[in-house]
């Protein structure tokens, strides 16, 4: 196993700067954010212009990363592939195809994304929709030697009432995903607040894990007693539950020793990619870097062996 991080936490830095910092601080891989660079969406990182990437540009990217001793573990484009607006959905699918094409040029075998959800439809209706629209994307990837890995984030902020809006949130659906040709980008933090044992879920589905995201979570039981598992209702803010928050690995509830040991026993030899969404260690690049250094300190004794 190798330790890496998702570059989305540093949207204002170039890929060259991110790679230089990663290589100098013991990281071996980058999960490279590849959202389109659009006005007014500064929170989305665009560390790789997949629309403009050709063979020559791909060679330059590989040379850049090789020079800092880091690899690309996956390209990252986590968007709603079942969006209720069909025009938005089509645009999302087109950019995902460009990410897949870029992965082929770079020799990267994985592209990370979401299943998503049409929040105007029931879950059952969404399952049928996914079975219609996702297989062509899987086929586009397979024809290029690429596999799609789906993060199990609930994406509750996409739903007006804070309910899961990514149909990969539950281990019950991971077998259904497998039937569609989708693989798992396993993140234990989401399972914790859903009341699921992340190790038990991993043991049952380790054969579908091709990529791992390392994020932790801090729980406030007294606040949960007030709001319930679905979170605050009155004066609700998107992405704020009122009773939990994401943290750097080692500062929350996840037992990383057991998670990494379970991965090792299952034969996983890929990348463990830190997804930095810790509000305490955010706000400016220096704090983000310090958070990534803390994550490395926690995970390296288990991963880099």
pLDDT, mean of residues 206-234: 95
In a domain, 231, yes or no: no
Instruction: Identify the pLDDT of residue 118.
Output: 98
The verdict on residue 160 lying in a domain is yes
Tens of pLDDT, residues 87-130: 999 999 999 999 999 999 999 999 999 999 999 999 999 999 99
CATH of the domain at 257: 3.20.20.150
Tell the burial category of 132 from Cβ atoms under 10 Å away from its Cβ (0-12, 13-18, 19+): exposed
The number of folded domains in the chain is 1
Is the C-alpha dihedral spanning 189, 193, 194, 200 positive or negative?
positive
Residue 8: give the domain boundaries.
2-216+250-303
pLDDT of residue 305: 64
Decide if 167 is inside a domain.
yes
Is the predicted pLDDT of residue 39 greater than 80, yes or no? no
Task: Evaluate whether 249 touches 214 at the Cβ level (below 8 Å).
Answer: yes
Question: Can you tell me the mean pLDDT for 134-144?
Answer: 98
Structure tokens at 60: 């330059």
Residue 131 lies in a domain: yes
pLDDT for 291 beyond 90: yes
Q: 39 in a domain, yes or no?
A: yes
Decide if 163 is inside a domain. yes
Residue 243 covered by a domain: no
Q: Note whether 50 and 98 are within 8 A (CB).
A: yes
pTM of the predicted structure, to 2 decimals: 0.96
Q: Mean pLDDT in the chain?
A: 96
Report how many helices (DSSP H) and strands (DSSP E) the chain contains, helices first: 11, 10
| pLDDT tens digits for range 154-164 | 999 999 888 99
- Structure token pair of residue 248: 């750097």
C-alpha triplet 154, 213, 53: angle, nearest 5°: 100
Does a structural domain hold residue 44?
Answer: yes
- Contact of 201 with 227, CB cutoff 8 Å: no
């Amino acid at each position: 196993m190798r330790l890496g991080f998702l570059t989305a936490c540093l949207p204002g830095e170039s890929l060259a700067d991110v790679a230089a910092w990663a290589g100098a601080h013991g990281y071996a891989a980058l999960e490279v954010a590849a959202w389109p660079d659009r006005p007014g969406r500064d929170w989305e990182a665009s560390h790789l212009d997949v629309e403009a990437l050709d063979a020559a540009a791909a060679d330059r990217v590989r040379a850049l990363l090789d020079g800092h001793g880091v690899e690309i573990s996956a390209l990252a484009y986590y968007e709603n592939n079942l969006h209720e607006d069909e025009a938005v959905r089509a645009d999302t699918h087109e950019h995902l195809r460009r990410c897949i094409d870029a992965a082929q040029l770079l020799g990267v075998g994985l592209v990370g994304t979401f299943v998503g959800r049409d929040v105007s439809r029931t879950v059952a209706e969404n399952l049928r929709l996914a079975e219609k629209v996702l297989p062509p994307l899987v086929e586009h990837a397979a024809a290029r030697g690429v596999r799609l890995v789906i993060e199990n984030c609930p994406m509750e902020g996409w739903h007006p009432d804070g309910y899961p809006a990514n149909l990969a949130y539950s281990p019950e659906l991971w077998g259904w995903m497998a039937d569609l040709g989708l693989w798992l980008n396993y993140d234990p933090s989401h399972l914790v607040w859903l009341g699921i044992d992340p190790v038990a879920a991993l043991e049952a589905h380790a054969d579908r894990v091709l990529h791992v995201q390392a994020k932790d979570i801090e729980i406030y039981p007294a606040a949960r007693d007030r709001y319930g598992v679905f979170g605050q209702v009155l004066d609700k803010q998107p992405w704020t539950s009122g009773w939990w928050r994401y943290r750097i690995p080692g500062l929350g509830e996840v037992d990383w020793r057991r998670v990494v040991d379970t991965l090792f026993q299952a034969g996983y030899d890929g990348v463990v990619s830190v997804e930095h969404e810790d509000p305490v260690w955010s706000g400016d690049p220096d704090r983000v870097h310090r958070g990534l250094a803390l994550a490395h300190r926690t995970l390296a004794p288990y991963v880099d062996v």
